[in-house]
Amino acid sequence: MKPIIKVENLSKQYRIGVGQASYGSLREALTGMARAPLKMFRRGVSGGGMTEAETLWALKDVSFSVEPGEVVGIIGRNGAGKSTLLKILSRITEPTTGTIELYGRIGSLLEVGTGFHPELTGRENIFLNGAILGMKRAEISRQFDRIVDFSEIERFIDTPVKHYSSGMYTRLAFAVAAHLEPEILIVDEVLAVGDASFQKKCLGKMGSVAREGRTVLFVSHNLTAMQSLCNRMLWLNQGELVADGTSRQVVGNYLKTSFSTQTEQIWDDIGTAPGNETVRLRSARVRPVDGSHTDSITVRTPFVFEFEFWNLVPETVLNLSLVLVNEEATVLFNTGPMTRQEADSHADATDWHGRPFPAGLFRSVCYVPGNLLNDGAVNVQLHVIKDQSIGIFFLDSVLSFDVREDASMRKDWYGKMIGAVRPVLEWKTELVEERATQQVGS
């Protein structure tokens, strides 16, 4: 089929640092500006002689095409070029090289409530925002009731939006945007706003837009939502298109190569390994109980931390202690081996814990059950404790890993579950007493 969007060799270069303004003063700037027309003829195509160091390629040679009715998700880490791509498609900024051909009207939603003015009423803002998003006045009037309905703020439609709660504001803003009727819709991370029920409503709307046969390009960090809405995904990494395929394929690969995680560290040279004169680390690793450190850990996976370390001073009583911290810098928990007395009851000849160590290489393993942590990034701090009370060594971010969402766990819920942990607890609901139903009028 004929594509509706055709992107060919698209690149975007940003200037960074000193290269930003080549004019030193206002006076030079003004004379430069006056000479600008002449310069344009002289300069031609050469980029003005910037050095590599001053530039950053936000997008590098990206090509793809989208057919009508496709719902395409774009994934990638922060700074991968997703937003730049959407901005170029929306014509907010222009590419450095390459072309895009659009065979349909484009509507972009890079932010909800663009151009909303706090002094104006809900009604006035609907018209203003609609016009800014490219709707005709007649079109807005025709859709007006539906927009107000969707936003659920009928009563406050003639109140200045500065008196709105943030939830009302967002609902109204999304309502306008949701009623755009372009052939191509571009959406950037709008699902990051609003409460859970509103997010669900937005996703529902996105889903119906997609079912109507419109072409949608969609960026979000909510992979679960993306997977259920998109049939195709593009994966950008450092400005380059690294994968283009079905959602399942691309997301699977994407998750396998999460780069921020560090699930294994090995220090071969005892002289330079982290530590001090008493203890030196040899390795650190996190992996599923029955897998390797390259396998992913979901909320359901039981996993282990493994540390190997050299004890350099004989007769030292050492133990490790781990502090798990999530993205919001909330401490999830602190764990260390049990104290000597408790350990005695589980007497185990192979467990050196609590006993004075001879000099040598030790391995400590910590087992974490599945169904404990919530999804998200986890950072591990390692503490080495002497005599079960004195911290002698501390290493931040010794390991970091992602606890991933397990899609099969989810039912009607797309949003992130709140809370630092997500235990699966035992629940039971029983019928205490049955009561005959008595309906009014029957």
Partner 1 sequence: MGTTSSSNRASTLKTAANTTAAAATTIDTTTQATPPPVTDATSQQSLAHTPPDEPLVTIQANKTWGALNLREIWVYRELLYFLMWRDLKVRYKQTVLGVLWVIMQPLLMTLIFTIFLGMLARVPSQDVPYPLFVYAGLLPWTFFSSAVLNSGNSLVGSAHLITKVYFPRVIIPAASTGARLVDFAIAFVILLGLMIYYGVAPSRGLLMLPVLVALVTLLALGLGMWISALNVRYRDIGIALPVLIQLWMFVSPVLYPSTLVPQQWQHLYALNPLVGIVDGFRSSLFARPFNWTAIAISAVFTVVLLVYAAFAFQRMEKSFADVV
Q: Interface residues for partner 1 in 186-225 (CB under 8 A)?
A: 200-201, 203-204, 207, 210-214, 224
User: Least distance (Å) from partner 1 to the CB of residue 256?
Assistant: 17
Q: Which residues of 20-52 are buried (b: 16+ CB within 10 A; e: fewer)?
A: eeeeeeeeeeeeeeeeeeeeeeeeeeeeeeeee
Strands 279-288 and 264-266, sheet pairing: antiparallel
At 335, give phi and psi (nearest 5°).
-135, 145
The nearer residue to partner 1, 229 or 399, going by C-beta atoms, is: 229
Q: Does 252 participate in binding partner 1 (rule CB under 8 A)? A: no
Tell the smallest beta-carbon distance from residue 230 to partner 1 (Å). Answer: 7
Residues 222-251 that bind partner 1 (CB under 8 A): 224, 227-231, 246-248
Task: Work out whether 134 is an interface residue with partner 1 (CB under 8 A).
Answer: yes
- Specify the stretch interacting with partner 1 by CB under 8 A; choose among 100-108, 257-265, 306-314, 431-439: 100-108
The token pair that represents 297 in the structure block: 């850990």
Query: For partner 1, which residue of 98, 274, 336, 354 counts as binding (CB under 8 A)?
Result: 98
Q: Identify residues 343-382 at the interface with partner 1 (CB under 8 A).
A: none
Residue 410 engages partner 1 in binding (rule: CB under 8 A): yes
By CB under 8 A, tell whether 74 contacts partner 1. no
Using the minimum distance from each CB to partner 1, give the nearer residue, 104 or 391.
Answer: 104
Toward partner 1, which CB reaches closer, 120 or 343? Answer: 120
> Residue 273 carries which DSSP code?
S
CA distance 31 to 57: 30
CB 211 within 8 A of CB 181: no
Task: Name which position in 18, 35, 50, 105 contacts partner 1 (CB under 8 A).
Answer: 105
As a whole number of angstroms, the distance between CA 297 and CA 399 comes to: 14
- Tell me which H or E stretch contains 125: helix 122-132
**Residue number with CB closer to partner 1 (89 or 236):** 89
Closest approach, Cβ 234 to partner 1, in A, equals 15
Closest CB to partner 1 among 148 and 284? 148
Candidates 106-114, 285-293, 316-324, 383-391 — which segment interacts with partner 1 by CB under 8 A? 106-114
In one-letter notation, the amino acid at residue 259 is F
Determine if 389 is a binding residue for partner 1 (CB under 8 A).
Answer: no
**Does an H or E element contain 186, and which?**
strand 184-188
Q: Which residues contact 287 (CB under 8 A, 6 or more apart)?
A: 263, 264, 293, 295, 297, 303, 304, 306
Least distance to partner 1, CB of residue 295, Å = 20
Nearer to partner 1, 93 or 257 (CB): 93
Q: How far is the CB of 182 from partner 1 (least distance, A)?
A: 9
Taking Cα atoms as reference points, which of 178, 203, 217, 206 lies closest to residue 4?
217
Which residues between 78 and 97 bind partner 1 (CB under 8 A)?
87-97
Work out which of 74, 75, 100, 372 binds partner 1, going by CB under 8 A.
100
One residue of 41, 259, 367, 427 binding partner 1 per CB under 8 A: 41
Contact residues for 270 (Cβ-Cβ < 8 A; gap 6+)? 280, 282, 310
Segment near partner 1 (CB under 8 A), from 66-74, 279-287, 299-307, 363-371?
A: 66-74
Looking at the Cβ atoms of 166 and 330, the one nearer to partner 1 is 166
Q: Does 424 bind partner 1 (CB under 8 A)?
A: no
> Which SS3 state, helix, strand or coil, does residue 185 take?
strand
Residue 110 in 3-state DSSP? coil
CA distance 201 to 104: 27
What residues from 162 to 181 belong to the interface with partner 1 (CB under 8 A)? 181
Minimal distance, residue 98 CB to partner 1, in Å = 7
For partner 1, the binding residue among 19, 68, 167, 337 (CB under 8 A) is 68
Residues 6+ apart with CB under 8 A from 112: 170, 173, 174, 177, 190, 193
Q: In terms of CB distance, is 159 or 400 closer to partner 1?
A: 159
Span of 108-116, 355-363, 385-393, 423-431 interacting with partner 1 by CB under 8 A: 108-116
Nearer to partner 1, 228 or 316 (CB): 228
Rg of the chain on CA atoms, in Å: 29
Closest to partner 1 by CB, 313 vs 407, is: 407
Residues 109-128 touching partner 1, rule: CB under 8 A, are 110-111, 114-115, 117, 119-120, 124, 127-128
Let me know: does 233 contact 251? Beta carbons within 8 Å.
yes
Query: Residue 80: is it exposed, middle or buried by C-beta count within 10 angstroms (0-12/13-18/19+)?
Result: buried
Instruction: Provide the 3-class DSSP secondary structure of residue 14.
Output: strand
Could you tell me how many residues of this chain bind partner 1 (CB under 8 A)?
84
* Separation of alpha carbons 429 and 175, rounded Å: 39
